C-alpha cells in the first residue's frame, strides 16, 4: 500500500493529485502544519520534519516533484510521463523542476514572512520582493502556453501537476489575480480537472477527521 504523509495544501498536494490522476490506492495521513513543530513524533518517520513523506514498499521519498516523476514513470503507463526519446522530454524535465525550484521557492518565503511568523518577525518587504520575483518568473509559463494548452504540448503530464500546484498555492496566497491571461486560463483548466477536485476533497475530509483547521 502506498502511504502519503500530507499537510493540507502543502507541497505534498502534488503527489496527492498525481495519485488521484492515476487512480491508485493509497493511505493518506494528515498532519498539522508545520509537522516538525506540531507533530514531533513525525520526526521518526521523516527526520526533516517536512511533507511529503511517501512510501511505496521499500521506496521512501520526501521530494514532491520527484515523487510525481516516480509515480508517472512507475504507474502512469504513459499517462503522466514523457519518455526520454520524445521530442518534449527536455521541456518536460525543465518544467517539472522549474515548478519546484523556481516557482515554489518564493511562495514559501511569502507564506512564512507574510502569514506564519509572529507579527514582530513578519517582513512586508520580503513578501513584496518575492511577490514580484514570482510573477516575473511566471513569464516563462505564459510564453510556454502561448502556443499549447499544456507545458508539454497537447498532453497533461506530471509537469503540469508540479507547476499547477505552485499556481494553486499562489491563488491561496492572493496572488492569482495578477496572473497573465494564458497562465490564468491554464490555472483554471487545471483546477477543473476531476482528479484535482478529488484531491482537494480528500485532503479536506481527512483534515477535518483529524481535527485540523483549513490551511493556509
> Is residue 35 a part of any domain in this protein?
yes
> Is residue 142 a part of any domain in this protein?
yes
Q: Are residues 204 and 140 in the same domain?
A: no
Q: Are residues 67 and 99 in the same domain?
A: no
pLDDT in single tens digits along all 216 residues of the chain = 999 999 999 999 999 999 999 999 999 999 999 999 999 999 999 999 999 999 999 999 999 999 999 999 999 999 999 999 999 999 999 999 999 999 999 999 999 999 999 999 999 999 999 999 999 999 999 999 999 999 998 899 999 999 999 999 999 999 999 999 999 999 999 999 999 999 999 999 999 999 999 999
> Is residue 215 a part of any domain in this protein?
no
* Cis bond before residue 113 (omega within 30° of 0): no
Report how many domains make up the chain.
2
Residue 154: count of CB within 10 angstroms of its CB: 8
Q: Are residues 93 and 142 in the same domain?
A: yes
State the CATH number of the domain containing residue 171. Answer: 1.20.1050.10
- Tens digits of residue pLDDT in 145-186: 999 999 998 899 999 999 999 999 999 999 999 999 999 999
Instruction: Characterize 129-151 residue by residue with b for buried, 16 or more Cβ atoms within 10 angstroms of its Cβ, and e for exposed.
Output: ebbeebbeebebbeebbeeeebb
Q: Which of 14, 3, 29 is nearest to 164 (CA)?
A: 14
- Grid cell digits, residue 192: 477543473
Q: Are residues 163 and 68 in the same domain?
A: no
Q: Are residues 127 and 151 in the same domain?
A: yes
- Across-strand partners of 1? none
- Tens digits of residue pLDDT in 30-40: 999 999 999 99
Domain boundaries, position 57 = 2-78+195-210
Q: Which of 212, 199, 214 is nearest to 28 (CA)?
A: 199
Q: Are residues 139 and 183 in the same domain?
A: yes
Q: Are residues 181 and 201 in the same domain?
A: no
> Is residue 83 a part of any domain in this protein?
no
> Is residue 188 a part of any domain in this protein?
yes
Looking at residue 153, what is its pLDDT? Answer: 80
Q: Are residues 68 and 94 in the same domain?
A: no
Residue 96: count of CB within 10 angstroms of its CB: 25
Burial status of residue 164 (CB atoms within 10 A of its CB: 0-12, 13-18, 19 or more): buried
> Is residue 216 a part of any domain in this protein?
no
DSSP 59-72: EEE--HHHHHHHHH
Structure pTM?
A: 0.97
State the CATH number of the domain containing residue 60. Answer: 3.40.30.10
Q: Are residues 39 and 74 in the same domain?
A: yes
Amino acid at each position: 500500500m502506498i502511504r502519503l504523509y500530507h499537510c493540507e495544501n502543502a507541497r505534498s498536494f502534488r503527489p496527492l493529485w498525481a495519485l488521484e490522476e492515476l487512480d491508485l490506492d493509497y493511505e493518506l495521513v494528515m498532519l498539522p502544519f508545520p509537522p516538525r513543530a506540531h507533530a514531533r513524533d513525525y520526526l521518526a518517520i521523516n527526520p526533516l520534519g517536512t511533507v511529503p513523506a511517501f512510501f511505496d514498499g521499500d521506496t521512501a521519498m520526501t521530494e514532491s516533484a520527484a515523487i510525481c516523476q516516480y509515480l508517472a514513470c512507475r504507474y502512469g503507463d504513459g499517462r503522466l510521463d514523457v519518455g526520454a526519446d520524445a521530442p518534449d522530454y527536455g521541456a518536460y524535465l525543465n518544467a517539472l523542476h522549474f515548478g519546484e525550484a523556481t516557482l515554489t521557492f518564493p511562495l514559501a518565503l511569502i507564506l512564512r514572512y507574510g502569514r506564519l511568523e509572529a507579527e514582530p518577525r513578519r517582513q512586508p518587504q520580503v513578501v513584496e520582493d518575492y511577490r514580484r520575483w514570482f510573477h516575473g518568473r511566471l513569464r516563462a509559463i505564459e510564453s510556454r502556453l502561448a502556443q499549447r494548452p499544456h507545458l508539454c504540448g497537447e498532453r497533461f503530464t506530471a509537469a503540469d501537476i508540479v507547476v499547477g500546484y505552485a499556481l494553486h498555492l499562489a491563488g491561496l496566497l492572493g496572488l492569482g489575480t495578477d496572473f497573465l491571461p494564458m497562465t490564468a486560463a491554464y490555472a483554471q483548466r487545471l483546477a477543473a480537472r476531476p482528479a484535482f477536485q478529488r484531491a482537494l476533497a480528500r485532503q479536506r475530509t481527512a483534515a477535518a477527521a483529524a481535527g485540523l483547521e483549513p490551511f493556509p
